[in-house]
């Protein structure tokens, strides 16, 4: 019998790719989306259940989620609630995360898989990581540890650097700006590093955790094979496109004042510039993973983005 998995945030970038991978692997998947996103999954003929707003603190939300989760072996929780107001942003995500955990416990779910954030390890040590995003992610980690201790619901937590693939929030936008000759805004000096990992590799790791219990109650840094600065990542896209990117540098304060134009709140600006990296060998060896080379992953995204235009 196929393992039954409920995926929250199923219409988001990571969620959609995870759902597609799990379906190909033969898992019985229930996608949890907001109502207007249900049409995204009709063509797959899979179960799709909607929740109006996971970030509302009410017993009705937990009850609805519990009904959806009942009968599933695992919940993969990928919801992220964005908001320009930092206090609302942190509160909404804390509420949404706790609602999903409570519903999973009420439904008797055996395992819970979710993403935290790589900067959680630096929380309180550096200004860039002392913000609502990382506090919220640390709360999520603590809540899962307490739930496991109290009820035995197992968990696997991943701390991503940056997940890339078709439809990610960064690469297609940069690609389009380079093709159009538009300026690309870089906050600060652009030397802060990230370790992009291909979303197909992430989905494969999730799948492994569903099938094996070897990784239960552990936390892993979800990082790709290469450490690269933000500026060099943009230049890599430019090389693939054979075009020179036009870079515009902004101070952090200028970026904050232009946050609506950039589509980022102050915490998300901190997240981008926090410069936290990890040992990429651990993930490769632990999950017997052959990671997609960064240039191959970026080339594929750029090619697909170009074909869509």
Q: Convert the pLDDT of each residue in 170-222 to its tens digit.
A: 999 999 999 999 999 999 999 999 999 999 999 999 999 999 999 999 999 99
Residue 258: pLDDT band by 50, 70, 90 thresholds? confident
- The mean pLDDT of 129-135, rounded to a whole number, is 85
Give the rounded percent of residues in the chain with a pLDDT score beyond 70: 95
Give the closest residue to 288 by CA, choosing from 161, 170, 201, 182.
201
Q: Where would I find the H helices in the chain?
A: 13-24, 59-69, 86-107, 132-151, 171-180, 199-211, 230-241, 252-257, 259-262, 266-273, 280-286, 294-308
Residues in the chain: 309
pLDDT of residue 47: 75
Token output for 6: 């409920």
Regarding the domain delimited by 165-194+225-277+292-308, which CATH topology (the fold level of the hierarchy) does it fall under? UDP-galactose 4-epimerase; domain 1 (3.90.25)
DSSP output for 189-254: TS--EE-EEEHHHHHHHHHHHHH-STTTTEEEEE--S--EEHHHHHHHHHHHHT---EEEEE-HHH
Rg (CA), the chain: 19
pLDDT of residue 40: 56
* Residue pair 119/276 in contact by the 8 Å Cβ criterion: yes
pTM of the model: 0.94
Q: In terms of pLDDT, which residue wins out, 123 or 25?
A: 25
Query: Where are the domains positioned within the chain?
Result: 4-163+197-222, 165-194+225-277+292-308
Q: In terms of pLDDT, which residue wins out, 260 or 206?
A: 206
Give the closest residue to 67 by CA, choosing from 109, 29, 95, 36.
109
State yes or no: pLDDT of 46 exceeds 80: no
User: How far apart, in whole angstroms, are the C-alpha atoms of residue 276 and residue 121?
Assistant: 9
* Residue pair 271/194 in contact by the 8 Å Cβ criterion: no
* Residue pair 10/41 in contact by the 8 Å Cβ criterion: yes
Cβ neighbors of 220 (< 8 A, separation 6 or more) are 156, 157, 158, 159, 282, 283, 286
Please report, for residues 127, 179, 197, 234, 261, the alpha-carbon distance to residue 176 in angstroms, rounded to integers and kept in the order given.
32, 5, 21, 11, 17
Which superfamily does 4-163+197-222 belong to?
NAD(P)-binding Rossmann-like Domain (3.40.50.720)
Please report, for residues 22, 205, 215, 288, the alpha-carbon distance to residue 208 in angstroms, rounded to integers and kept in the order given.
10, 5, 9, 10
């Amino acid at each position: 019998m196929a393992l039954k998995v409920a995926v929250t945030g199923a219409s988001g970038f990571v969620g959609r790719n995870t759902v597609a991978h799990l379906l190909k692997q033969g898992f019985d998947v229930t996608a949890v989306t907001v109502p207007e996103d249900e049409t995204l999954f009709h063509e797959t003929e899979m179960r799709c259940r909607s929740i109006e707003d996971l970030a509302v603190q009410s017993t009705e939300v937990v009850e609805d989620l519990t009904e959806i989760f009942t009968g599933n072996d695992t919940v993969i929780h990928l919801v992220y609630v964005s908001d320009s107001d930092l206090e609302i942003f942190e509160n909404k995500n804390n509420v949404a995360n706790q609602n999903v955990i409570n519903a999973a416990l009420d439904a008797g779910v055996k395992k819970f898989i979710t993403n935290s954030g790589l900067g959680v390890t630096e929380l309180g040590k550096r200004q860039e990581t002392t913000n609502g995003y990382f506090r919220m992610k640390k709360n999520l980690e603590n809540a899962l540890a307490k739930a496991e201790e109290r009820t035995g619901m197992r968990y696997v937590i991943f701390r991503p650097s940056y997940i890339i693939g078709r439809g990610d929030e960064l690469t297609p936008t940069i690609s389009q700006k380079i093709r159009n000759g538009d300026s690309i805004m870089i906050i600060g000096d652009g030397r802060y590093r990230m370790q992009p990992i291909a979303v197909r590799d992430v989905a494969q790791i999730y799948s492994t955790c569903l099938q094996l219990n070897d990784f239960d109650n552990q936390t892993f840094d979800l990082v790709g094979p290469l450490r690269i600065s933000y500026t060099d990542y943009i230049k890599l896209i430019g090389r693939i496109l054979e075009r020179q990117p036009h870079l515009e540098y902004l101070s952090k304060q200028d970026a904050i004042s232009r946050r609506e134009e950039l589509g980022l709140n102050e915490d998300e600006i901190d997240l981008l510039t926090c410069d936290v990296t990890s040992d990429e060998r651990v993930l490769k060896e632990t999950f017997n993973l052959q990671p997609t080379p960064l240039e191959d992953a970026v080339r594929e995204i750029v090619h697909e983005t170009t074909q869509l235009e």
